[in-house]
């Protein structure tokens, strides 16, 4: 008898907690209750607002809604040019791509990226700017990269699978310039117990929040001088 009462008590508690939670979620979903942007796992990300806890899920969603992705970019302050589609042949090509012309932080060279990758980078730049102010006491003035779109295999190997670079879905970041004249280098500063080293740890950690794959010096020797960031299907944070 007491066992049945105990089970009944747990059931009542579950109902007491579940009903308001379901009602709250439904009200938010139907738009009856408005929350700050980017706080829910559904809907379209606003890349001008704080990223929220579901940012990677939202960015991945842009890959499934190409038209919506371009609308998302158009609503932001990101300046870019559309790139004509290049049909994928032999694993290389570009669909729904853009060339970034002006963003939160300038790059040392051109950035050709898929639309979701451009959206992720736009958010990433703002997050890194906050990290630079916190760890380095200065602002980022340039992000140095060593490649975005390139028709090649993983690690530049003669055989094997195509890299995410082959579809403009990746970037390799090697260094950062600061307003006070310093330059933070992955090759020189990674692992150092210095403000520069701690900043690079944040570069990696924030990258893991936004991108599906992040590979750096701790992954292998090929990545000793840069972070590889991509939106492929593989989930790795190294």
Hey, what are 208's tokens?
A: 């893991």
**Banded pLDDT at 60 (limits 50, 70, 90):** very high
pLDDT averaged over every residue in the chain: 89
Q: Provide the strand spans (E) within 65-169.
A: 79-83, 86-89, 92-94, 97-102, 111-114, 140-145
Report yes or no: 166 and 151 within 8 Å, Cβ to Cβ.
yes
pLDDT at 29 over 90: no
The pTM (predicted TM-score) of the whole model is 0.84
Average pLDDT over residues 104-124: 97
Cβ-Cβ contacts under 8 Å for 124 (sequence gap 6 or more): 206, 207, 210, 211, 229
Q: Give me the helices (H) in 30-114, please.
A: 55-62, 66-74
CB atoms within 10 A of CB 216: 24
Q: Give me the helices (H) in the chain, please.
A: 2-29, 55-62, 66-74, 115-136, 186-189, 195-210
3-state helix, strand and coil shares in percent for the chain, rounded to the nearest 5: 40, 20, 35
CB atoms within 10 A of CB 45: 26
Average pLDDT over residues 178-201: 98
Listed by start position, the domains of the chain span 1-34, 45-237
- The length of the chain is 238
Measured in degrees and rounded to the nearest 5, phi and psi for residue 109 equal -150, 175
Average pLDDT over residues 29-46: 72
**Banded pLDDT at 107 (limits 50, 70, 90):** very high
pLDDT at 6 over 80: no
Question: Distance of CA 25 to CAs 12, 18, 21, 33, 56, Å?
Answer: 20, 11, 6, 9, 20
Report yes or no: 136 and 200 within 8 Å, Cβ to Cβ.
no
> Is the model more confident about 142 or about 155?
142
Distance CA 37, CA 115 (A): 20
pLDDT at 14 over 60: no
State the pLDDT at residue 156. 80
CA 34 to chain centre: 25
pLDDT at 179 over 50: yes
pLDDT at 3 over 60: no
**Banded pLDDT at 177 (limits 50, 70, 90):** very high
Distance CA 186, CA 65 (A): 34
**Banded pLDDT at 21 (limits 50, 70, 90):** very low
**Banded pLDDT at 214 (limits 50, 70, 90):** very high
Report yes or no: 80 and 100 within 8 Å, Cβ to Cβ.
yes
């Amino acid at each position: 008898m007491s066992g049945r009462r105990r089970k009944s008590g747990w059931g009542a508690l579950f109902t007491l907690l579940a009903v308001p939670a379901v009602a709250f979620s439904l009200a938010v979903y139907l738009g009856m209750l408005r929350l700050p942007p980017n706080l829910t796992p559904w809907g379209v990300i606003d890349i001008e607002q704080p990223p929220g806890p579901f940012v990677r899920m939202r960015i991945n969603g842009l890959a499934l809604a190409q038209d919506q992705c371009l609308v998302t970019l158009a609503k932001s302050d990101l300046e870019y040019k559309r790139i004509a589609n290049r049909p994928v042949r032999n694993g290389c090509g570009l669909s729904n791509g853009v060339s970034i012309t002006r963003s939160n932080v300038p790059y040392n060279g051109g950035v050709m990226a898929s639309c979701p990758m451009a959206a992720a980078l736009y958010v990433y730049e703002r997050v890194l700017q906050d990290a630079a102010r916190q760890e380095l006491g200065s602002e980022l003035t340039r992000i140095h990269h060593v490649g975005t779109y390139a028709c090649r295999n993983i690690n530049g190997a003669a055989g094997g699978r195509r890299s995410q670079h082959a579809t403009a879905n990746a970037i390799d970041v090697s260094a950062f310039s600061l307003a006070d004249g310093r330059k933070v280098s992955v090759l020189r500063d990674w692992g150092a117990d210095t403000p520069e080293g701690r900043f690079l740890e944040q570069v990696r950690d924030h990258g893991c929040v936004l991108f599906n794959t992040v590979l750096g010096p701790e992954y292998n020797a090929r990545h000793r001088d840069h972070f590889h960031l991509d939106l492929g299907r593989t989930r790795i944070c190294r």
